[in-house]
Structure 1
Amino acid sequence: MRLMMDVGAGGLLLLGCGKMGGAMLRGWLANGLTPDQVTVLDPHPAEWLTDLQIQGLRLNTQPDTPPAIAVIATKPQIMADAIPGVAAFGNGPTMFISVAAGTLISTFESILGPETPVVRAMPNTPAAIGAGITALVANPHVETDQLHLAEQLLGAVGEVVLLDHEEQMHAVTALSGSGPAYVFAMTEALTQAGIGLGLSQEVSSRLAVAMVAGSGKLMSQTGDEPALLREQVTSPKGTTAAGLDVFMRQGNGILELVEQTAKAASDRSRKLAAG
């Protein structure tokens, strides 16, 4: 299914084309956006990006007119150096979409102008393979049709959810933003457990990775609640029940541990945002 998006006469400006920026650009191109609608500013462009110039993509050339959309995908540590280069497009019709972790909408408003339409997005690493989920929140200057276009653009790399207010980004950071690392850590632990039970590293790793990936797909495709799926695989007094008993042994067990983990990540997000 192609996006059928209209980015307007000004086209799209992508500031930063690393892992996340590159994943988004590939998704847009695969879903109907043409290279001649895109300008990319990146100090170290990859070869595939350079090759797209033949198809009309503009590389490291400042747009002559304000773009309809400017997507900021630079790393937070170089944000201060990168943003001034596009500050001239602030306080105008250009909608800015930021996927830079931890950078507040107010930061962009202070640099670009208080009337600049700004959408803050929090994708996660599975977006690199088109399987991510992104949370969006916009300031009051973003029009309804602009927000819809932002949803389409981020939808090219996975699912999209809209937040009620920016404060919720701390929870998003802790859950879907940092969450892949928790899943990877759990997969590591399961692999080591399998080795401890007598499996080879290769077999244990394959089993753990495939089980985690398949379980995620099952939840996604069936739409059933995780609690229901857990109950379906847990026979009374069976092997799964014995394992879950250990999971829940200390108080609320894994539930309490995950809650504490997410809170620690959320608290850190708040601290970083406060400077």
Structure 2
Amino acid sequence: MTRLAFIGGGNMARSLIGGLLKTGAAASSIRVAEPQAQAREALGREFGVATFAENRLAAEDADILLLAVKPQVMPALKAELRDLLQRQRPMLVSIAAGVRLDQLERWFGSHLPIVRCMPNTPALIGAGATGLCANARVSPPQKAQAQHILDAVGLTRWIGDEALMDTVTALSGSGPAYFFALVEALEDAAVAQGLPRETARALAAQTCLGAGRMLAESGEAPGELRRRVTSPNGTTQAALESFAADGLARIAANAIGAATRRGAELAAELDAKEPRP
């Protein structure tokens, strides 16, 4: 690893740092800026990385600067870090949801190599799914470096067209919440039929875990796996027909569409808040 600085020491930064250390990165190559003293001390104690209260101190001499902050914080970082980034020209890696490459270029410098990433919360347990896209100034070795960082917490995929990053956000970024909502509904339905809640939750969670592993490890299409477990005129077919009658495919398409549109709106709202010359 080259010198890597995190701006923000929250949950996602912690999971990335932990994953990198497990893959052999040296703690001495990682710096973290975190404004909250208690969180800052915990990072240093747990991971042995250098921590700073000020963003500029952490970013000094970094080869890669990873922005692990909320989207609304980005414009405030501009005044603090732009001149330093203009001078150092590190690769900028952003995990802020909905923040476009052109916005990052406008705030921090159009000459910078920038990678935009959309990880999701299962990265906290090393099972994340991340979409990445890069501007034209990111070299192949830099792309490999960015991918190595996100590979430390799960699966990564490069997205050639940045416009599709809002779809990635809708699919995998927000997707864990859809899964939790489905398990919640399955649990409640089973409880309504008499199963104890603890049993219903355990069976629903393990069933979804097992099905997910089968899908990920088999290499088969989900439709093929569905067909294999659906006996003609059996219980599974009855349930699937009920799903179809209630419009499951339409519900999913509408949900992904709504989340995709909202992702684009969030970026537009950041643009609208910028002062105009």
Cα 1:59/1:29, change in 2 over 3 Å: farther
TM-score by length of 2: 0.90
CA distance in 2, matches of 1:23, 1:240: 38
Q: Determine which of 73, 76, 86 is the counterpart of 1:81.
A: 76
Following superposition of structure 1 onto structure 2, how do residues 177-256 of structure 1 map, counting pairs within 5 Å? 177-250=173-246, 253-256=247-250
CA distance in 2, matches of 1:98, 1:200: 44
Kindly provide the CA deviation profile for residues 151-192 of structure 1, in whole angstroms up to 9, marking residues without a partner as x.
Answer: 111000001000112111111111111111111100000000
Which protein is richer in helix relative to its size?
2
Higher alpha-carbon deviation: 124-133 or 102-111:
102-111
- Is the contact made by 1:36 and 1:58 (CA closer than 8 Å) also made in structure 2? no
CA distance in 1, matches of 2:14, 2:78: 18
CA distance in 2, matches of 1:189, 1:156: 32
1:59 and 2:48 aligned: no
**Paired position in structure 2 for 1:154:** 150
CA deviation after TM superposition for structure 1 residue 59, in Å: 3.1
1:19 and 2:14 aligned: no
Report % sequence identity: 36
CA deviation after TM superposition for structure 1 residue 34, in Å: 1.2
- Unmatched 5+ stretches in structure 1: 1-5
**Paired position in structure 1 for 2:44:** 50
- Is the contact made by 1:105 and 1:120 (CA closer than 8 Å) also made in structure 2? yes
Q: Determine which of 261, 264, 270 is the counterpart of 2:255.
A: 261
CA deviation after TM superposition for structure 1 residue 106, in Å: 1.5
CA deviation after TM superposition for structure 1 residue 57, in Å: 2.4
1:129 and 2:125 aligned: yes
How many residues align? The count is 264
CA deviation after TM superposition for structure 1 residue 104, in Å: 1.3
> For residue 273 of structure 1, what is the amino acid of its counterpart?
A
**Secondary structure of the corresponding residue to residue 136 of structure 1:** strand
CA deviation after TM superposition for structure 1 residue 47, in Å: 4.1
Alignment RMSD:
1.7
CA deviation after TM superposition for structure 1 residue 78, in Å: 2.3
CA deviation after TM superposition for structure 1 residue 224, in Å: 1.1
CA distance in 2, matches of 1:108, 1:163: 17
> For residue 104 of structure 2, what is the amino acid of its counterpart?
F
**Paired position in structure 2 for 1:3:** none
- Is the contact made by 1:91 and 1:113 (CA closer than 8 Å) also made in structure 2? no
1:31 and 2:23 aligned: yes
Q: Determine which of 17, 41, 47 is the counterpart of 2:33.
A: 41
Kindly provide the CA deviation profile for residues 214-255 of structure 1, in whole angstroms up to 9, marking residues without a partner as x.
Answer: 1111111111110011011100011101111101114xx211
Q: Which runs of 4+ in 1 moved over 6 A?
A: none
Q: Determine which of 163, 170, 175 is the counterpart of 1:174.
A: 170
CA distance in 2, matches of 1:268, 1:254: 21
Cα 1:240/1:32, change in 2 over 3 Å: same
Cα 1:93/1:81, change in 2 over 3 Å: closer
CA distance in 1, matches of 2:125, 2:58: 29
**Secondary structure of the corresponding residue to residue 255 of structure 1:** helix
CA distance in 2, matches of 1:113, 1:228: 48
- Is the contact made by 2:75 and 2:107 (CA closer than 8 Å) also made in structure 1? no
Cα 1:233/1:91, change in 2 over 3 Å: farther
- Is the contact made by 2:118 and 2:131 (CA closer than 8 Å) also made in structure 1? yes
- Is the contact made by 2:5 and 2:59 (CA closer than 8 Å) also made in structure 1? no
**Secondary structure of the corresponding residue to residue 248 of structure 1:** helix
CA deviation after TM superposition for structure 1 residue 267, in Å: 1.2
> For residue 262 of structure 1, what is the amino acid of its counterpart?
I
Cα 1:56/1:167, change in 2 over 3 Å: closer
1:104 and 2:100 aligned: yes
CA distance in 1, matches of 2:225, 2:59: 55
CA deviation after TM superposition for structure 1 residue 65, in Å: 4.6
CA deviation after TM superposition for structure 1 residue 79, in Å: 2.4
